[in-house]
Amino acid sequence: MLKYILKRFAWMVLTVWIIITLTFFLMHAIPGDPLDVADVGSSDAASANLAAYYNLDQPLAMQYVTYLKNVVTFDFGPSMTSRSRTVNDMIESGFPASLQLGLATLFFSVISGVVLGVFAALKHNKMIDYLTMILAVIGISIPNFIQSMLFINYIAVNVEFFPIARWGTYRHVILPAIALASGPMAIIARLTRSNMLEVLTQDYIKTAKAKGLSTMKIVVKHALRNALLPVVTIMGALTAAVLTGSFVVERIFAIPGIGQYFVNSISNRDYPMIMATTVIYSTILVVMMFIVDILYGLIDPRIKLHSKED
């Protein structure tokens, strides 16, 4: 098991390094001087100063090494749009809201997706099954930014309980979290359902029935565990969907999160900020995938043996 974790961990570090490197060189491959966009009409001396400020006067290889060092120490340097603030400041101020929204979304989508999927499978070809699957396909089909706008336009405006925008109380979380979660929820529900249906035909379910166990016990102990294995594997991809989805949802609901800064940094060509968000988001994602791998090993004992034999 330890060997398995170490191997996965090394893989994770490698992936993060590749992402950082790719991002760095891609950013520097962009034609044009980033300072042109950031500050139009400054004097030569001033821009030389600025170039030094952002390390742009050094050779590319040096810049890369410096950047790597800084990233390891979690220092993303000053921002290019608001020069007085460092990227770290901006991330710190945006992170709480983004984290709250992201966790609420993941929590909501996993719980409701699994519950809906299990019910649909147990009531296969009955009304609940059809309703759930219709709901799921609708959830997948309406993009999260459309849902967000519809929610604002039709729910937040009419229902006092839901604030239209901004952040602060739990009431602010509900609508954006639903808009973000409905896609992942639908995917989880469909996956859980089809896995449950498959697992319920397995021989070991027959064995469990032959032992005289109750339906509840069979579902929870024997079926669900095995049906959730594939669901665990897509958690990484789902996190990615939630992360990227948060860019637009944060923008529509005017939530002061990292997504906001990211979107702004794109239009402002704030390279340190773009790089920082890319690196942070990729890292979160890769760490999530690492956790998923470990979780998978914990739930499925066959994985452990496999790595032992390696």
Partner 1 sequence: MSETLLEINDLAVSFSTQGGEVQAVRGVSFAVAPGETVAIVGESGCGKSVTAQSIMRLVPEPPGRIKHGSIHLNGKDLAALSDKQMRSVRGKQIGMIFQDPMTSLNPTLTVGDQLTEGILTHENISKSEAEKKAVELLNLVGIANPQERLKLYPHQFSGGMRQRIMIAMALMCKPSLLIADEPTTALDVTIQAQIIDLFKEIQEKTGVAIIIITHDLGVVAQIADRINVMYAGEIVESGTVKEIFYKPQHPYTRGLLTSVPRLDGDRSQPLIPIAGTPPDLFSPPEGCAFTSRCKYAMEVCRAYDPAVTHLSDRHFTKCWLQDERAEKPF
Partner 2 sequence: MPATQERATKSPVDDSLFAPLNNKSAEHDAIVRPSVGYWKDAWQRLLKNKLAVSGLIIIVFLTIMAIIGPMLTPYTYSEQTLSNQNAGPSAEHWFGTDNLGRDMFTRTWYGARISLFIGFAAALIEFVIGVLYGGISGYKGGRVDNILMRIVDVLYGLPYLLVVILLMVIMGPGLFTIIVALTLTGWIGMARIVRGQVLQLKTNEYVLASKVLGASTSRIIRKHLLPNTMGPVIVSMTLTVPGAIFAEAFLSFLGLGVSAPVASWGSMANDALGVLNTGYWWRLFFPAFFISLTMLAFNVFGDGLRDALDPKMRR
The residues that touch partner 2, with contacts defined as CB under 8 A, are: 11, 14-15, 18-19, 22-23, 26-27, 29-30, 137-138, 140-143, 145-146, 149-150, 152-153, 157, 164, 240, 243-244, 247-248, 251-252, 263, 266-267, 269, 274, 278, 281-282, 285-286, 289
d(CA 102, CA 54): 32
Radius of gyration of the chain (CA): 24
Which two three-digit tokens encode residue 127?
Answer: 């009304």
204 makes contact with partner 1 (CB under 8 A): yes
Least separation in angstroms between residue 266's CB and partner 2 is 6
Residues 6+ apart with CB under 8 A from 21: 64
Structural contact between residues 81 and 273, judged by C-beta atoms closer than 8 angstroms: yes
Other beta carbons within 10 Å of 155: 15
d(CA 162, CA 151): 10
207 makes contact with partner 1 (CB under 8 A): yes
Least separation in angstroms between residue 118's CB and partner 1 is 17
Query: Of 211-230, which residues contact partner 1 (CB under 8 A)?
Result: 211-214, 217, 221-222, 225-226
Part of the chain binding partner 1 (CB under 8 A), chosen from 33-41, 206-214, 256-264, 285-293: 206-214
Structural contact between residues 139 and 148, judged by C-beta atoms closer than 8 angstroms: no
Structural contact between residues 11 and 286, judged by C-beta atoms closer than 8 angstroms: no
Nearer to partner 1, 1 or 65 (CB): 1
Measured over the CA atoms of residue 214, residue 216, residue 221 and residue 227, the dihedral's sign is positive
300 makes contact with partner 1 (CB under 8 A): yes
126 makes contact with partner 1 (CB under 8 A): no
**Residue 211 contact partner, candidates partner 2, partner 1, none, CB within 5 to 8 A by sort of partner:** partner 1
Least separation in angstroms between residue 222's CB and partner 2 is 22
d(CA 101, CA 98): 5
Interface contacts to partner 1, rule CB under 8 A: 202-204, 206-214, 217, 221-222, 225-226, 299-302, 305
